[in-house]
Structure 1
Amino acid sequence: MTPRLAVSMTGADERLDQVGEMVEEFTAAGYRELWTSELTGSDAFAPLLAAAVGRKWLRLGTAVASVFTRSPGLLAMQSLSLAESSTEPVHVGIGASSEAVVAGWHGVPFRRPYTRVRDTVRFLREAFEGGRVTFRSDSFDIEGFRLARTPPHRPRVLVAALREKMLRLAGAEADGAVLNWLSPDDVRKVAPFVLEGNPDAEIVARLFAVAAADRASARAYARRHITGYLNSGVYAAYHAWLGRGDVLEPMARAWRAGDRKGALAAVPDSLVDELFLTGDEAQLRAGLAEYVRAGVTRPVISVIGPDPGLARATLLRLGPAGGVDQQPRSAQNNQL
């Protein structure tokens, strides 16, 4: 058995009153698992709750919900709502986000992100047991919190992780990791940090495919995303740790100088092809299969591109009629 492909709803492009129609398309294409992100559109939980109305058989996951922009108690309550909306396992992926988002956009101090994520994981696991929780930690103190109802099945807590410390936390204290912006070879590098704490930990990866008229157009579109993300502090440091510092330096130098066109031109095709799936349907499926062979247990696909209609059509054609091929990991038991 192999894991079937899950679909990512961005939370930015689709309005909540369009979720039902969108999910009908997804499920008709064979998707049975939906994940969300959050930025400045819908939050991570609302689209999943809307999608689950009348469809309690869906598997649901957040990738990811910020631990800084909501209280630990509110996160526990939102997780309860998610668990009650589906008879299937639900995954609550949480993460620190970044200083630009947390402090800049939300006005919340961005302090000790690793500690905040760690303490939130510990609080959630205790809160899901259903008892009264008095919790003392380096990040926050909770006095006498208790969920109104015990979740019908415990939400699986995942940690959005980039480098070693957070990756180890994801395996040692959570149920697994949510990975982002990496190649199959990168998965082979980072997954062992998660699995050393728990050989059965889940490895969720948000994967980006670009649908365009041709590969050159797809690469050009992907370059804009690379310059937008990989010049941010957290992702720049992440990719330097992965060994791409020299490859990214020309782009970063142009970006710092305010030369946006120069930054785009400095992104090599090889980097685009490492981080994005491009090509025809067969090539996209082959790329997805490579991520699974590298150790991803839950591949979550987001198809983007200059033509939203083509992107949606490509996503539907990739619908998981039978899963993606892989050499199964012995510990992998998280199939749909």
Structure 2
Amino acid sequence: MYARWGLTIPLTGVPLRAHAPLLAALADAGYTDVWTSEVAGTDAFTPLALASTWAPALRLGTAIAPVFTRGPGLLAMTAAALAEVAPDRFRLGIGASSPVVVEDWNTQSFVDPFGRTRDTLRFLKRALAGEMVDEQYPTFTVRRFKLERPPASPPPILLAALRSRMLRLAAAEADGVILNWLAASDLPRVRAELEGAKDGFETVARIFVCPTDDQRYARELGRRMIAGYLTVPAYAAFHRWLGRGELLEPMWRAWEAGDRRAATAAIPDEVVDALVLYGSPQVCRQKIEEYVRQGVQTPVIALLPTPALASGEGGVLETVLLDLAPPYTEV
């Protein structure tokens, strides 16, 4: 029933070197993909390079590599290297990231994120195809850059997108889109902006999954995460666009006033329940399946910590991953 089923790596609380046996078992369980994020943990590419040898049956993807924190040439070289080591198994997901990541942590200017993402996409398509790029783009200039080792099969490039403008850019020029922090019920609104995408266009969604029956724990964790993410201007605008402005306005007002505790407490249960999936692993899997029914080709689980997982008891993580696996696949 499901062509693809992904997991975000590295997993919280698991040393990177300890992922080898876990990843090797994922394909047998029905998983097809592993995807990475890049915030303040590992970079997006190192775990995938390791996974390419630890689990050669799995497809690899970045969700996402920011377009501001590496120069265009370095981003092309890094993507080309991974495409060479894992031919036809790598998907390059790029996106704007956020002012905190770009400016506060990486000392780069976060200016015109839409333009920078558009121009990086256009540069990468040419560079990864092996072309000499000598171009003055609106947001940067590249002089006579040519990959010495262009990949024999250039990786598809997917864009992280939230609202209309970036979604339409993805549909017009990219090979797919990466979605984040949305409910399954939001997908019709998002998909309407992707009309006209080419055949084979892929919709990837990162889905936060907290496999526990402890509703109080899941909601408390969900509130903390939502307060941290949806107060970022781009995500706030996204959820206003999705129609959650009235529900989240008390959180935004409290956050703006500097009252983090009040902001977290102001998030309604219905918002938490829509954006963070919780319940038994089997219940969570059924909720993930709703994203697939709404048009997501590749659901990517972002596994959140639970008391059971934090206990470190032997076999708990492996059991949870097996229980979250798809019932069967058709690849």
* TM-score of the alignment, normalized to the shorter chain, above 0.5: yes
- Distance in 2 separating the partners of 1:260 and 1:99: 19
In structure 2, the residue matched to 1:181 is 181
TM-score calculated relative to the size of structure 2:
0.91
TM-score calculated relative to the size of structure 1:
0.90
Which residue type is aligned with residue 97 of structure 1? S
Q: Secondary structure of the residue that 1:249 maps to in structure 2?
A: helix
State the Cα distance separating 1:300 from its structure 2 match. Answer: 0.4
| Number of residues of Structure 1 aligned to a counterpart in Structure 2 | 325
In structure 2, the residue matched to 1:156 is 156
Kindly indicate whether residue 282 of structure 2 is the aligned counterpart of residue 276 of structure 1. Answer: no
Equivalent runs, 1:85-234 vs 2, <5 Å: 85-198=85-198, 200-234=200-234
- Distance in 2 separating the partners of 1:53 and 1:24: 9
CA displacement, residues 175-197 of structure 1 (integer Å, 9 cap, x when unaligned):
11100000112111112212334
State the Cα distance separating 1:259 from its structure 2 match. Answer: 3.0
Change (3 A) 1:186 1:238: same
In structure 2, the residue matched to 1:63 is 63
Change (3 A) 1:84 1:192: same
State the Cα distance separating 1:247 from its structure 2 match. Answer: 0.1
Which residue type is aligned with residue 222 of structure 1? G
Do the aligned partners of 2:20 and 2:54 also contact (CA within 8 Å) in 1?
no
In structure 1, the residue matched to 2:320 is 314
CA displacement, residues 21-46 of structure 1 (integer Å, 9 cap, x when unaligned):
33234345332311000111211011
Which residue type is aligned with residue 94 of structure 1? I
Change (3 A) 1:12 1:65: farther
Q: Secondary structure of the residue that 2:4 maps to in structure 1?
A: coil
- Distance in 1 separating the partners of 2:181 and 2:11: 18
For structure 2, the residue ranges without an aligned partner over 5 or more in a row are 311-315
Do the aligned partners of 1:11 and 1:39 also contact (CA within 8 Å) in 2?
no
- Distance in 1 separating the partners of 2:17 and 2:293: 37
Aligned-residue sequence identity (percent) comes to: 44
In structure 1, the residue matched to 2:303 is 303
- Distance in 2 separating the partners of 1:120 and 1:60: 20
Change (3 A) 1:151 1:12: farther
Kindly indicate whether residue 244 of structure 2 is the aligned counterpart of residue 248 of structure 1. Answer: no
Q: Secondary structure of the residue that 1:110 maps to in structure 2?
A: coil
Do the aligned partners of 2:4 and 2:297 also contact (CA within 8 Å) in 1?
no
In structure 2, the residue matched to 1:82 is 82
- Distance in 1 separating the partners of 2:216 and 2:65: 34
In structure 2, the residue matched to 1:6 is 6
